[in-house]
Amino acid sequence: MKTSAKTGIALITGGSSGIGYSIAKEFAKRGYDLILASNQEKRLTEVCNELTTQYKVHAQPFFIDLAESGAAQKLYDWCQKEQIKVEILVNNAGIFVFGEVVETDPAKVQQMITLHTTTPALLCTLFGKDMKQRRNGHILNISSLAAFMPYPGISLYSSTKNFLKSFSRSLRTEMIDYNVNVTCICPGAVSTQLFELSDADHKKAINWGVMMPADKLARLAVDAMFRKKALSVPGFINRIFLIIIYLVPQSIILLIRRYSRFLPPDRTENTNNNKPKSK
């Protein structure tokens, strides 16, 4: 890969859409060449062409399903073959599933676990070792405010994002003496296509502070990384909500689960407890 920027190279997973796309734009604005890894082949090529043209940096696509076994090693081996020195690693790729764990397709469960835990941990291991040897580098892991929320409906999402948050903090402690920074970002709701809302509803959510524009989150995340912060929860409303999360007891969550319509009721018949009463 022929680099065009003096700043360095940033590798961003899930860089073809949503938060990853906005983070890619933010690094391009700051003069970084880019490697964008995603399974959205057509969109990935379009984004790389767009960023190359608009910001005069070199943006190269790498089409890969990061939820497949061995994806991290495949991506790393390709960078080694192309003699690409990654100064910044951004683990952003992810999916969201809402619903009861036992009602979720096992293939989807495996996909989320791999995408949120196995692949980013291995990418940190592989690229982090190179950074350690060079005594320089940044790792930016995108977790979620849900990492603090062990709630029904997001059991898989919150637990895998909590792994990424905890892993980032531990890795940071290991790497800090080698001048390698690890930053974890835990955003709340972000205005992306993840939420199937109309443009008007997105605008209302942003105006009310319920959602944050993806470009704003990207700027705050990159700024936090360069300031070498360990953990960042962007947005005043999100930080207030974090306090509320800690104050609400699990019993209240159970009542909300039981009497709200956030999740479908359990309609499984219990043959032991639902026998008709004898007259």
With beta carbons less than 8 A apart as the criterion, state whether 182 and 203 touch.
no
Q: Which two tokens stand for residue 139?
A: 């790792």
Q: Which residues of the chain have pLDDT under 70?
A: 1-6, 191-210, 257, 261-279
SS3 73: helix
pLDDT in the model for residue 278: 38
Q: Which two tokens stand for residue 154?
A: 């997001």
What's the rounded Cα separation, in Å, for the pair 201 and 217?
A: 19
pLDDT in the model for residue 210: 59
Ramachandran quadrant class, 200 (left: phi over 0; alpha: psi -120 to 50; beta: rest): alpha
What's the rounded Cα separation, in Å, for the pair 37 and 60?
A: 9
Distance, CA of 94 to chain centre: 5
Domain 9-239: assigned CATH number: 3.40.50.720
DSSP 177-204: GGTEEEEEE----EESTTS---HHHHHH
pLDDT in the model for residue 271: 34
With beta carbons less than 8 A apart as the criterion, state whether 202 and 211 touch.
yes
Please compute Rg for the chain using Cα positions: 21
pLDDT in the model for residue 203: 59
Domain ranges for the chain, please list them. Answer: 9-239
What's the rounded Cα separation, in Å, for the pair 219 and 36?
A: 18
Q: Which two tokens stand for residue 265?
A: 């009721």
Beta strands at 59-63 and 33-38: parallel, antiparallel or unpaired: parallel
pLDDT single digits (tens) 24-39: 999 999 999 999 999 9
What's the rounded Cα separation, in Å, for the pair 272 and 126?
A: 52
What's the rounded Cα separation, in Å, for the pair 79 and 1?
A: 9
pLDDT in the model for residue 275: 39
pLDDT in the model for residue 84: 96
What stretch of H or E contains 62? Answer: strand 59-63
